[in-house]
Structures are given as structure tokens and as C-alpha cells.
Amino acid sequence: MRPNKIKQMWQDGKCATLGWLSVSHGFTAEIMARQGFDALCIDLQHGTSEMNDVWPMLQAISQTDTTPIVRVAWNEPAAIMRALDLGAYGIIVPLVNSAEEAARAVAACRYPPVGMRSFGPIRAAQYGGADYPANANDEIIVMAMIETKEGLANLDAICATPGLDAVYIGPADLSFALDMTPRADNPDPVHLATCDKIRETAHKHGIKAVMHCAGAEFAAGAVKRGFDMVMLTSDIGCMIAGVRKQLDDFKAKTD
């Protein structure tokens, strides 16, 4: 089976970079995949993509060695299994509040006898290889998002869930959980300390911690703080930033 690049990097003690796909288009996915990210995530929770958009975007990513990841909209087994059958090598599950919910997410990503994933890797076997069924349980990454008051209260138990590979910090919803207004790359000391606590708890249980960032400076700081993967930027974020820069530069030279 095609090895999971992110698992290999983590085994080597390296921090991985993650790009974010909010636009539902194969060409956008291809362009982002060719920029050098270690992994790319198709966002089904807050992005514009639906499940029917996933397979052409995964095909576009597959032209590179970038690892394809999907964030599902909810902890729902059918959607998780569908994304995996289409070729996702990692699943991010939002709003995980308990160890039971984390275990349900893991079970949906693993074939029996360790999980409940139904067999039918319609595209995954073409992408992963003929021995995909025998090795998928070891290669697929499962990440649970920690971003609610309940999730924080159950953090230790969630991180102890057998088969869970990582916890993923959702900083905006985490701000709500901390009674703050969401903002990108939140510098608030309480928010930072909470993120560090999530990282420390994950590492205590032998799993990885992922930080969702909005720019290079904050992401670099997260790497220095010990996070194992950083979401650096998104397609739509780059589009807006690029357009604004060109407009600002133009106005500065013509005013």
C-alpha cells in the first residue's frame, strides 16, 4: 500500500504542513497540491464542497505526493467511510466531546475486527494499491477536533482513545468554549495556554497535536511550541490576501 507520508514524518519526529481547501474545484486543489504542502484537507464542514466534489479533488491532489485529508461535516460513520473509500488518507472529525465519540470516529475508519468500516474501497484501492485492504488500518490517520467546553472537560479521556492518531485544535470554536470572540491566530494568553494544554495531554498519551493557523508567523510559533502539524493557510485565504496586496500596491503607486 502507498505509505502515508504524514505518518512517516511523525515517526521521524518531523512537523508536517497542512493546506486547506475551502473552494470546491479540482483545479484549485491541483494548484494547492503543487505548492509543496505535506498534506491538503478538503473541508466538508465549512467549505463549499459537498461529497460529490470530493473525488475529483482527491484525483487532483493525487497527481502529487501530497497526502489527501478530508474534514467531514459531522461524526457520522457513513460520511467518514465514503470519504475513505474515495481515497482520503486522513479524516478530521469536528466537535468531538467525549471518549465515546472519539471511539466512534476511530471505528468508522478501521476495518473489522478493530472497527466497523464497511468494505468497498472503490477508489482508495486504486490510489493506495492492491494491498490496501490489508494495510489501511495502519495507514489511515484519524484526528478528533477539540473545540468545545465538553471536549476540554473530557480531554484526557479523548486522548486516551485507542486508535486515535491526533487531536486537532479548532481555534475559533475553542474561543467560544473559552467565552471569547473567535479570531484568527489568537494571541490571548488563556487561549494559548489552553492550546498548549491540549498538546501536552495529547503527547502524554502518545498521540499527535495539530494546530489550525492562519499565517506563517503564528504557524512557526506553533512548531516551536511543539505541535506536530500546522495548518498554514487556505486557498481562499491566499486568494483574498493576494488580491488585496495587488490592489493596495496599485493604489499606493497611483494615488
3-class DSSP state for residue 169?
strand
205 is annotated as an active-site residue? no
Residue 175's H or E segment, with its range, is helix 171-177
Alpha carbon distances (Å) from 82 to 87, 123, 168, 242: 9, 10, 21, 34
Q: Which of 46, 203, 205, 212 is catalytic?
A: 46
Q: Which residues of 195-233 are buried (b: 16+ CB within 10 A; e: fewer)?
A: beebbebbeeeebbbbbbbbeeebbebbeeeebbbbbbb
Alpha carbon distances (Å) from 8 to 11, 58, 67, 141, 185: 5, 20, 11, 11, 28
Residues with a catalytic annotation lie at: 46
